[in-house]
Structure 1
Amino acid sequence: MGENGLVGACGGKRFKVHPGAADGADVPSVVARGFGGRSPRTHICGDLAYARVGASWSCARLLVDPCNREIVGHSAGPGKDARPVKSAFATPSFPISDIEVFHTDRGSEFDNAEIDLMLEALA
């Protein structure tokens, strides 16, 4: 970069994490950090990542199959609510009824009544 006269665009506003109770839900861990040895499409993990887009923040929601580390679902956009998570579940190339366990860090966008209703409909 230096040879071409380029510099990084670091600094400025950063995403502010809002403090809260970590893992506050009283739900047992079914996966228990044992991500290997599973059949494909049966156990899906969900997480999100923030990226600065112009003057605002955007969030990518990813659904990952830990069996082969494949991204099986995705959505992106502003806001931290259930709608984009539900959109990510519309993108897998297989029937989502194949999913037996959906594992997340239980962030507010995943620990949500709308998501619970969608997952219960699959059971």
Structure 2
Amino acid sequence: MRVFLIAAASCAIAAPAAAQSRSQLDMVQSLNQPIVQEGVAAMVGAVADIVLDTRIAPLTRHIDGMPPTDTLRDLQRRTNPHFEAELRDRTRRAVATAGIVAGDAVAMTSELKRGADRLQALLGPLAAAIKAQVADDDY
């Protein structure tokens, strides 16, 4: 029964999703373009730059040998000198993965619609019979 309810809910979602398929396809195509992936990685890098440029002077006095002018970037570089390049690469790969997942989700839309149509064909006569029975009972 749980599987049936999940399938029915998924099929109910499929109809509006099918109407959005063109915009979904556009989004998927965008996420799969290397230039978009690089653009997102650059944006995340810019946000990271702002955070990493935060001076941590109030905390440095508690750590021996840490200059009072250090930033979060300085602290992270000591741990991993290549962290900025790795952040950019991981971000680009995450956007590429999002494109793949989004593409798979769009591909499922048509399958969910097909299932919804089959359920409608199967349950339509039953719903009509119940509706007719309720109408007969009212008189």
TM interval, short-chain normalised: under 0.3
TM (normalized to structure 1)? 0.18
Q: Which has the higher helix share?
A: 2
Which of the two has greater strand per residue? 1
TM-score w.r.t. the length of structure 2 is 0.17
Structure number, greater radius of gyration: 2
